[in-house]
């Protein structure tokens, strides 16, 4: 879809993306934030990102009030598109997804592992810390991987992104954690060749046995007036509602697989 945009739209898309990343880059210094925390202040360029505090664990939010056996813990490993950048907490993707799952009677707890500004390399770098922090909890694990938008914005090598995403899927598979991979499109100004290689990464990884695949996380939302914020990229509350509606059937399949893990280890979606 983005590849078909005209040069004017491509330039606007690139400019909006650049502004968005410059605005959210300070959040990269906080590996995990409580769901209601405000964005920190600006950080000098080149400042090193500190590691997680000793004994710290990922933030976890209850998605439903259902009483019963331990709920599925859904790890959202993503960037600003899933972290709720620019939105009140109540309108963020994770909160709206939790509400949609609760309305369906699902027993799910959302684990906030989305950090604004993250690339696929950043997500890979902190994945083990996220999972290790959940070892002592109860309930099966599942993961939604939403990464790559910032790789495309920065024009990072597609081969590197593929290695990073593949390594994330490998580590999740090694722990028998079912995964939903959300696809992303590169900005059209990167050229048709880059865009085609970019999309091909997700198509190939999404075809892996056991991986549930949604081709485009922003389907029906990207560049649609009335569904994006002023930066032209991040969904507004109505846009998040549309994203959740599109991703919900995939997440429901993911939750079902997590609840019966042995049935999903060799199945091909």
Using the structure block, give the residue that is written with the tokens 């009140």. 88
Active-site hit among 118, 120, 234, 241: 234
Residues 6+ apart with CB under 8 A from 80: 20, 24, 27, 114, 116, 117, 149, 234
Active-site entry in 79, 80, 92, 122: 80
User: 132 catalytic, yes or no?
Assistant: no
- Selecting among 89, 91, 176, 231, the annotated active-site residue is 231
Return the half-sphere exposure (C-beta side, CA atoms, 13 A cut-off) of residue 195.
Answer: 14
Whether 231 is a known active-site residue: answer yes
3-class SS letters over 114-154: ECCCCCHHHHHHHHHHHHHCCCCCCCCEEEEEECCHHHHHC
Backbone angles phi, psi at 113, to 5 degrees: -125, 30
Token duo for residue 257: 């697989």
- Residue 60 belongs to what H/E stretch? strand 59-62
Catalytic residues: 80, 231, 234
């Amino acid at each position: 879809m983005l590849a078909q945009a005209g040069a004017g739209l491509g330039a606007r898309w690139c400019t909006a993306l650049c502004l968005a990343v410059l605005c959210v880059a300070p959040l990269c210094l906080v590996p995990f934030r409580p769901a209601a925390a405000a964005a920190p202040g600006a950080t000098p360029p080149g400042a090193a990102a500190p590691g997680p505090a000793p004994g710290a664990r990922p933030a976890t939010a209850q998605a439903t009030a259902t009483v019963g056996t331990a709920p599925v813990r859904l790890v959202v490993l993503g960037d600003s598109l899933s972290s709720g950048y620019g939105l009140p907490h109540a309108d963020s993707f994770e909160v709206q997804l939790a509400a949609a799952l609760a309305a369906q009677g699902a027993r799910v707890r959302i684990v906030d592992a989305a950090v604004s500004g993250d690339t696929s390399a950043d997500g890979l770098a902190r994945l083990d810390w996220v999972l290790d922090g959940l070892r002592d909890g109860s309930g099966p694990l599942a993961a939604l991987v939403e990464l790559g938008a910032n790789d495309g914005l920065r024009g990072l090598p597609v081969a590197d992104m593929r290695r990073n995403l593949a390594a994330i899927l490998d580590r999740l598979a090694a722990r028998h954690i079912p995964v939903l991979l959300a696809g992303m499109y590169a900005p059209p100004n990167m050229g048709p060749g880059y865009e085609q290689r970019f999309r091909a990464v997700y198509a190939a990884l999404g075809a892996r046995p056991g991986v549930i695949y949604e081709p485009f996380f922003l389907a029906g939302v990207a560049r649609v007036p009335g569904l994006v914020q002023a930066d032209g990229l991040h969904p507004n509350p109505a846009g998040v509602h549309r994203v959740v509606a599109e991703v919900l059937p995939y997440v429901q399949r993911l939750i079902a697989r997590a609840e019966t893990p042995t049935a999903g280890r060799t199945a091909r979606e």
